[in-house]
Amino acid sequence: MKKVAVGVETLSMSSDFFSKNSFEKFDLPLNLNIDLEDLEQRYFKAQHHYHPDRLRTSNISSENTITDYAAAFNEAYQILKDPLKRADHLLKCLGWLVSDETLGSKQDPHLLTFMMELNEKIEGAITEEEKKQLESFLENEIHHSWQALENSIDKQDKDMALTCFMKLKYLHRLHLNLK
């Protein structure tokens, strides 16, 4: 297993910590793709320092403060380990996505039609065979949209990135419905 030297700061952490984004909290670069195993190790390391169970046998500050830190790391971990939440967070960190409404105003009529048709197909799928076919189609689409999102972020193409992200959100929901 990969052992990572983790730059989790000591308890002298200032309150600045709480204004950091989830990537910064784990000392990670702003990136769409991350190494999940590495993230997990950083997360465990952070919890080793800040989990309230640790407080009982050490002499550090108050439990409330510790709980705040542990909760902040938990939240950041929940965001980063989930691809969609991570993408959403990244777009917000970049300042491209302000709120979820921003996304709504970017409705692409072609995309909407495509998704509605796909949804009808999913609702109409009865046999296992049909479902399997749709599932692999969806997974393929998700894969491609993810790559497109990656490219558009690299190229600083804000509009394209938002369109890809919205498509991904739809695809994920359809994928869930199918299951």
Partner 1 sequence: MLLQLVEPGQTPLPHAQEESFAVGIDLGTTHSLLAFAAEENVPQLIPLQGERLIPSAVYYTEAGSPIVGKNALSMLSQDPDNVVRSIKRFMHHASQRHILRKLSLTPVEISSHILAYLKTQAERQLGHPIHKAVITVPAYFDEAARTATRDAGRLAGLEVLRLVNEPTAAALAYGLEKKAQGIYAVYDFGGGTFDLSLLKLQGEVFQVLATRGDMNLGGDDIDHAIYQNHFQEKGLSLDLKQALFIIRLLKEKLTDEEEASLTLENQAYTLTRQQLETLTLPFIDRTLEHCQKALKDANIQKESIKGVILVGGMTRMPLIKRAVETFFGKKPLDDINPDEVVAYGAALQARALTQGSNNLLLDVTPLSLGLETLGGVVEKIIERNSPLPVSKIQEFTTHEEGQTAMLLHIVQGERELVQDCRSLARFELHGIPPLPAGIARIQVQFTVDVDGLLTVTAKEKTTGISQYIEIKPSYGLSECDLLEMISTSLTHGHQDLEARLLIEAKVEAERIQKVTLDALEKDQELLEENEKILILSLLRNLEADLHSADRTTIQQTTEKLAAATHPFAVKRMTYHLNEALKGRDVTTL
Residues near partner 1 (CB under 8 A): 44, 47-48, 51-54, 56-58, 67-68, 70-72, 74-75, 77-78, 179
Min CB(128)–partner 1 separation in Å: 17
Min CB(52)–partner 1 separation in Å: 5
Min CB(142)–partner 1 separation in Å: 14
Min CB(74)–partner 1 separation in Å: 4
Nearer to partner 1, 21 or 67 (CB): 67
What does the alpha-carbon distance between residue 60 and residue 54 come to, in Å, rounded to a whole number? Answer: 9
170: helix, strand or coil: helix
Min CB(37)–partner 1 separation in Å: 10
Name every residue whose Cβ is closer than 8 Å to that of residue 68 and which is 6 or more positions away in sequence.
Answer: 18
What does the alpha-carbon distance between residue 148 and residue 32 come to, in Å, rounded to a whole number? Answer: 12
Nearer to partner 1, 3 or 110 (CB): 3
8: helix, strand or coil: coil
Nearer to partner 1, 50 or 96 (CB): 50
Nearer to partner 1, 69 or 96 (CB): 69
């510790």: which residue's tokens? Answer: 66
Nearer to partner 1, 51 or 106 (CB): 51
Contacts of 154-159 spanning 24+ positions with Cβ under 8 A:
158/94, 158/96, 159/106
Nearest to 138 by CA among 87, 179, 86, 80: 179
What does the alpha-carbon distance between residue 135 and residue 78 come to, in Å, rounded to a whole number? Answer: 25
What does the alpha-carbon distance between residue 160 and residue 158 come to, in Å, rounded to a whole number? Answer: 6
